[in-house]
Amino acid sequence: MKLTQLSIFIENRRGRLATVADLLAEAEINILATMLADTSDFGILRLIVNNIEKAEEILNANGFTTTRTSVVAIHAPDYAGCMSSILKFINKKHLNIEYMYAMSDPIHGGNALIFRCDDIDNSLSDLVANGFKLLSENEL
């Protein structure tokens, strides 16, 4: 089970992030998870939202460049060493993590770790078989 994430190119200029938030607010789009990656001159805002089509439409109409990416959200119960056990498994599969971010898991408690890992598809069933819980958009 993979999630679709919306990534937005943001110039490193005052007010640009606020503009994105405003546009989404006006369109009544709920942000489920968010992560901002920054470099010296630009940033990439990564969002998981409740209505990606609508978010994409409103942002593109306002001149923002966006792209869709598949990510995986793994439930991480609240105990020391949980993240380590997830990463150990990913490492064993020789998967390369492009980036990762975390949010709290509102339904199951604990957290959700969101990964972009290009070659994870073949390992998804293995993850589940090894007791890891993959989260869907509805569960965020």
Partner 1 sequence: MIEDLYLKDYVTHDVLRRLQLIRLREVLINVYKNNSFYKNLFDQARVKPASLRTLDDLQHFPFTTRKDLLSQPPFGLISTPMQEIVQLQTIGHSTNCQNIVGYTTKDLKIWSELICRSMQCAGLTSQDIILNTYGNFPGDYGTNCGDNRLNATIISMANRNIEQQIMAIHNFNITAIFAPPSHFLHLALTAEKMGKSLRTSSLKIGIFGTEPWSDKVRQQIELTAGILSFNIYGLSEIYSPGIAMQCSEHRKHMHIYEDHFYPEIINPDTGQVLPPGEVGELVLTCLTKEAQPLIRYRTGDITRLHCEPCSCGRTLVRMERITQRSDDMIIIRGISLYPEQIKEIIKNEEGFSPLFQLIIPRDRNDIAYDFELHLEVLPESFSDKIRKLEALKNRIWERLLTIYGLSAKIILVEPGTLSNMKNSISPVIDLRNK
Q: Which stretch binds partner 1 (CB under 8 A): 9-17, 23-31, 89-97, 126-134?
A: 9-17
- Count the Cβ atoms, other than its own, within 10 Å of residue 74: 23
CA distances (Å), origin 57, targets 47, 49, 93, 137 = 14, 13, 37, 19
* Interface pick for partner 1 out of 3, 7, 33, 76 (rule CB under 8 A): 7
Q: Tokens for 113, please give them.
A: 């770790």
* Interface pick for partner 1 out of 63, 79, 80, 84 (rule CB under 8 A): 63
Q: Which stretch binds partner 1 (CB under 8 A): 7-15, 83-91, 105-113, 126-134?
A: 7-15
Q: Does 44 bind partner 1 (CB under 8 A)?
A: yes
Tell me how far, at minimum, the Cβ of 114 lies from partner 1, in Å: 12
φ and ψ at 49, to 5 degrees? -125, 170
Residue number with CB closer to partner 1 (65 or 125): 65
* Interface pick for partner 1 out of 21, 25, 36, 37 (rule CB under 8 A): 37
Give the list of residues 6+ apart from residue 32 with CB closer than 8 angstroms, or none: 47, 48, 49, 50, 103, 137, 140
Q: Does 64 bind partner 1 (CB under 8 A)?
A: yes
- Count the Cβ atoms, other than its own, within 10 Å of residue 90: 20
